[in-house]
Structure 1
Amino acid sequence: MCRLILILILLVIIVIAYFWWKPEAGGTNTDVLPVVLWHGMGDTCCAPFSLGAIMSLIVEQTKGGFVRSIEIGDNIVMDFQSGFFLHPNEQVDYVCKELLKDERLAKGYNAIGFSQGGQFLRAVAQRCPQPPMRTLITLGGQHQGVFGLPMCPTLTEKSCEYISKLLTTAAYTTKVQEELVQATYWHDPIMENRYRLGSTFLADINNEVYLNTYYSENLNKLRKFVMVKFLNDTIVQPKESQWFEYYTNGQDKLITSLKDSRVYTNLGLDKMDKAGKLVFLGVEGDHLSISKAWFIKNLVPLLLEK
């Protein structure tokens, strides 16, 4: 019986991959900037019930604008697994090279990151200024990391428990940092120094290891940096991380505002703020629970800006 179920699941995946697995869409309207998407943990680039639907919506609303949804690897399985097990530095490096080869992006593009795809696309903006990213939109991005993994619906309960245990007890060991994506943005506010010295991704792109002026200069090249926070989020802890805010050092209750944090100046966000480039949007609902109407009203106009 179990074998039959597995065969049926594989057949469904094959059908989806054959008929709907399209990482690119649109392209007839060259008057609008292309859009690059990066999916979150437990998702894939092109499933018709998630990012595939977003791609179609953007093409429709931009009257044929080009959309590319980032796919890591050569198939649906590799793309899914990369969200858990391929180090973000490797993913970002791969994506930077792929975007640079795409001539349709040469004059610039807008980007939308979903959940962890938000901080990954920010890393692209900071590390790879060519082709130029114009507007970055992050939906539920964990810019200051997370401290808690309460729900993990895309994996089995046993797998979720295993990941939670690893993050709680051994997040900053070399092995876990190398083999579990979520460990690279696990931000323990109680052991702040351990986080800064042990994080192999987030601490670097947030300029917490040393001040990398290249990162802040490139981030400031954005026209806009739009952060969308889900006001009833039960996945991201704390949800304030979606607006670049986080727990005050030494505890996990009080939140330090962005303007009072070191990353505000260290990453050049203060300059972006003064220039009116930072946009903070809030939407009712749980993690990534966003309606088509809200997307069209609040985000599509940003994609249509010249």
Structure 2
Amino acid sequence: MICLFPSSRIVCLLCWLFLILALVLGYIWWKPTKGGTNADVLPVVLWHGMGDTCCVPFSLGSIMSLIVEQTKGGYVRSLEIGGNVVLDWESGFFIHPNEQVEYVCQQLQLDERLAKGYNAIGFSQGGQFLRAVAQRCPNPPMRTLITLGGQHQGIFGLPMCPTLTIRSCDYITRLLDDAAYTPEVQSKLVQATYWHDPIMENKYRLGSTFLADINNELIINEFYIENLRKLKKFVMVQFLNDTIVQPKESQWFQYYTSGQNKVIQPFTESKVYEDLGLNKMHRQGKLVFLGVEGDHLAISKAWFIQNIVPLLLEK
């Protein structure tokens, strides 16, 4: 959270204290791993989104419990970035995705329960971060990647961003509008690394230090293509009434036609469709597109059980 005006500092301080207390209490009650008694189902790895943490009970903690219940004791690991709950929350804003992905790859390799493979679920920006894990770190092997509201082609606008205050959201948006591709902003603000300006495509490709790379927009990295094709399924969930991700079609790997920010280009006509090998995955039936009515990450327990749990139970 960023305090822009002196008069708001007391409120900001109280918000920070409340946040830290909530995170610490949540961490005491909920751990980054859960389950593990049922070895007949693949483990599940979760990566939270912006403004969230790995394990608090009102967010991913409840998802962990639900998965353990529905898989009859399957092992679930919810990624905690940085080794403690405060760093984990800060990572959603201030730790570069490349650093986070490298850290996660190391942690997954050390987890013996994942050695034979795992399924992965990414929430919001955690979706494209887990895709980077699939592309960069093939061991242990990721089997099915599920992204809930992931921004695979980036964003161009951040309305109603999930920060602690409206002022923080406004500040981040202005920063992205004015200086997203400067080295300083790219290094210090996570959202800048997948800010995709469709009007200045060259500036985006040259300035983006994360998304342009994992989408093969600078060079064609065959290693990325090869590793992504190893997925059994790549499931993308779009929230059809999303007020946070702009454009919401990025959740289905679509984006604006270059040069403007109104018309969405068909997925199969985009350059990344071929450059990342998505065309072959599409023909092989590995790409799955799901839509759900509701705002960003607004999914019900019933919808999750009906649509996501069967994917986790597949052999």
Which of these residues, 240, 245, 255, is aligned with residue 249 of structure 2? 240
C-alpha distance 105-77 of structure 1, shift in aligned 2 (>3 A) = same
Determine if the alignment matches structure 1 residue 80 to structure 2 residue 86: no
User: Which SS does the other structure have where 1:81 is aligned?
Assistant: helix
Determine if the alignment matches structure 1 residue 176 to structure 2 residue 185: yes
Question: 1:263 Cα shift?
Answer: 0.4
Question: 1:75 Cα shift?
Answer: 1.7
Determine if the alignment matches structure 1 residue 16 to structure 2 residue 42: no
User: Which SS does the other structure have where 2:82 is aligned?
Assistant: coil
Question: 1:14 Cα shift?
Answer: 3.2
Summarize deviations over 1:231-285 as a string: whole Å, max 9, x none. 0011100000000000000000001011000100100000101111000000000
C-alpha distance 162-280 of structure 1, shift in aligned 2 (>3 A) = same
| Maintained 8 Å contact 2:20/2:86 | no
Summarize deviations over 1:106-131 as a string: whole Å, max 9, x none. 00000000000000000000000000
Which of these residues, 182, 188, 203, is aligned with residue 194 of structure 1? 203
Name the CA distance, whole Å, in 1 between partners of 2:232 and 2:17: 48
User: Which SS does the other structure have where 1:73 is aligned?
Assistant: helix
Name the CA distance, whole Å, in 2 between partners of 1:174 and 1:140: 27
Name the CA distance, whole Å, in 2 between partners of 1:117 and 1:156: 22
Counterpart of 1:37? 46
Identity of aligned residues (%): 75
Which of these residues, 81, 86, 99, is aligned with residue 108 of structure 2? 99
Counterpart of 2:133? 124
Which of these residues, 262, 267, 275, is aligned with residue 276 of structure 2? 267
Write the letter of the residue equivalent to 2:75. Answer: F
Counterpart of 1:67? 76
TM-score, normalization by structure 2? 0.94
User: Which SS does the other structure have where 1:36 is aligned?
Assistant: strand
Which of these residues, 249, 255, 265, is aligned with residue 258 of structure 2? 249
Counterpart of 2:194? 185
User: Which SS does the other structure have where 1:77 is aligned?
Assistant: helix
**Which of structure 1's runs of 4+ aligned residues deviate more than 3 A?**
1-14
Counterpart of 2:6? none
Counterpart of 1:215? 224
Name the CA distance, whole Å, in 1 between partners of 2:14 and 2:120: 40
C-alpha distance 192-68 of structure 1, shift in aligned 2 (>3 A) = same
| Maintained 8 Å contact 2:146/2:237 | yes
Name the CA distance, whole Å, in 1 between partners of 2:21 and 2:303: 35
Question: 1:7 Cα shift?
Answer: 5.7
Counterpart of 1:289? 298
C-alpha distance 72-7 of structure 1, shift in aligned 2 (>3 A) = closer
C-alpha distance 201-9 of structure 1, shift in aligned 2 (>3 A) = closer
Determine if the alignment matches structure 1 residue 148 to structure 2 residue 157: yes
Counterpart of 1:204? 213
Summarize deviations over 1:207-234 as a string: whole Å, max 9, x none. 0011001101100000000000000011
C-alpha distance 125-72 of structure 1, shift in aligned 2 (>3 A) = same
Aligned residues: 305
Name the CA distance, whole Å, in 2 between partners of 1:127 and 1:192: 24
